[in-house]
Amino acid sequence: MANLKLIRTRIKSVQSTQKITKAMRLVAAAKVRRAQQRVLAGRPYNDSLKRLMKDCCNNLDEATLKSMPLLVARPVKRVGLWVVSSDRGLCGSYNSQLFRKTLERIEELSKQNIEVVLVTIGSKANTFFKHSKLEKIKTYMHLPAIPTVEEAKMLAEFAVNCFTDNTIDQVEIISTKFISMLNSQVNTLKYLPVELHVQTHELSHTISPLKLFEPSIEEVLKDNLIPLYLQNVFYQVLIEASAAELAARMNAMTNASNNARDLINSLTLVYNKARQASITQEILEIVGGAEALKN
């Protein structure tokens, strides 16, 4: 009977866990749809803004472009990696894939004798690199669950400040891109300096509309388009990562619920076999006792 009681206790424990995983799966499924809509709605705007930036760069000469610090590449001695992770766990291999890619990039830069500094976004990245020897110049944790433009602007401004004051020579963002409900991809995006200039001969075979800028194309690009573009890139990165995290959590909780169901079925079968064996043993003892009394 002790074994039966132990099995019953384990079945109840697994059933309680299954209720939690099912609830988390439903919550993630409800959120991921809206996150997916934000991602799909943001991509066309991001692409259009990027094309506009390229058109503006094509209408400027090299000297003018070099006068804009955010567009000028310099010898790379120090690279800043912005690592975008999650604040919570229970999302499968979402964070582990991200950290694996980050370590590979760090090793690649180290082989080139380039110093690496980190900016961690999310509690998981902060915990993972807590004991790392790499310098961490900033840590962001517990940001809003639904990314906002204000949050993206804050991150973009910090990256720009680090680049313009020569703290770092290149900014890269390592984050997860949402592909589908079942698939995501870890990408390394070169954020600063901005690389958008397309040579004029590449567009010579196309016809493009005439664009008028007021007060001038240089001022519009420097004061408006570049800051807006950098802010929007970070916003797109955040909503892509948010959607990928929710999809990973939904899939992880689905797998956990299915595993719990299979384990409950297995334990129930073991319980029934043990119970049947116990009943059979009791019957044999009763019959044996009755036969003994007859004799």
What DSSP character marks residue 121? Answer: E
The model's pLDDT over 14-59, given as tens digits with 9 standing for 90+, comes to 999 999 999 999 999 999 999 999 999 999 999 998 888 888 888 7
Predicted pLDDT of residue 200: 45
Q: Angle 253-258-264 (CA atoms, 0-180°, nearest 5)?
A: 125
Locus of tokens 């120090």: 78
CATH number for the domain running over 27-251: 3.40.1380.10
Checking if the pLDDT of 214 tops 80, the result is no
Q: In whole angstroms, what is the distance from residue 111 CA to residue 115 CA?
A: 10
Question: For the chain, what are the domain ranges?
Answer: 27-251
Just list the catalytic residues. Answer: 91
Q: In whole angstroms, what is the distance from residue 164 CA to residue 52 CA?
A: 23
H or E element in which residue 118 lies: strand 115-121
The model's pLDDT over 230-261, given as tens digits with 9 standing for 90+, comes to 999 999 999 999 999 999 999 999 999 999 99
